[in-house]
Amino acid sequence: MSKNWGALQYLYEPDNSRAAIPPITELASKAIADQDVSSFGEELFDDELMAIFYKNMREKAADLELAVIEGDWARLRLVAHSIKGTTASFGYPELSKQAQEVQLAIDEDRMDEIQVLAMNLATEVGKVLPTTA
């Protein structure tokens, strides 16, 4: 299995694949121009993909908080599900487990736990994000 399988799986999500088209196109053009298609700009590609991942996670953390504030448990479950899959694909299994726990709390109507679990998840997502200048 390819070391980039999680990254490739992430690209299958429609919003993510659209965002990745410009950097991929740029890297492909550069590789062809340099006639070095063997590397295909792997390091730059990884950096671009991680930038998309971080942007997506910032948005998801904000979505979590908003869903909790609004008491929108259906939306909260969808966001947690998205975080679960994405973080697992990008090598953050603990975040994936936390997101799954939010989903389960909603599915099992554990109303007394949902808000705390969701806010803890948002906090933990924030910890993996790079600081911005």
Residue 30 lies in a domain: yes
The CATH number for 29's domain is 1.20.120
pLDDT, position 21 = 64
pLDDT, position 5 = 55
Q: What percent of the chain has pLDDT over 70?
A: 65
Which tokens in the block code for residue 16?
A: 């993510």
The DSSP code sequence of 54-114 is HHHHHHHHHHHHHHHHHT-HHHHHHHHHHHHHHHHHTT-HHHHHHHHHHHHHHHTT-HHHH
Give residue 92's domain range.
5-128
Residue 49 lies in a domain: yes
For the segment 83-89, the average pLDDT, to the nearest whole number, is 92
pLDDT, position 10 = 62
Question: If pLDDT is split at 50, 70 and 90, which confidence band does 11 have?
Answer: low
Residue 37 lies in a domain: yes
Cβ neighbours, 10 Å, residue 11: 18
- C-alpha to C-alpha distance for 9 and 84, rounded to whole angstroms: 13
State yes or no: pLDDT of 34 exceeds 60.
no
Instruction: Count how many domains the chain has.
Output: 1
Residue 77 lies in a domain: yes
For the segment 42-56, the average pLDDT, to the nearest whole number, is 80
Residue 133 lies in a domain: no
pLDDT, mean over the chain: 80
Q: Which of 35-44, 46-55, 97-106 has the lowest mean pLDDT?
A: 35-44
Contacts of 109-117 with C-beta under 8 Å, sequence gap 24+, read 114/68, 114/73, 114/76, 115/68
pLDDT, position 91 = 87
For the segment 123-133, the average pLDDT, to the nearest whole number, is 84
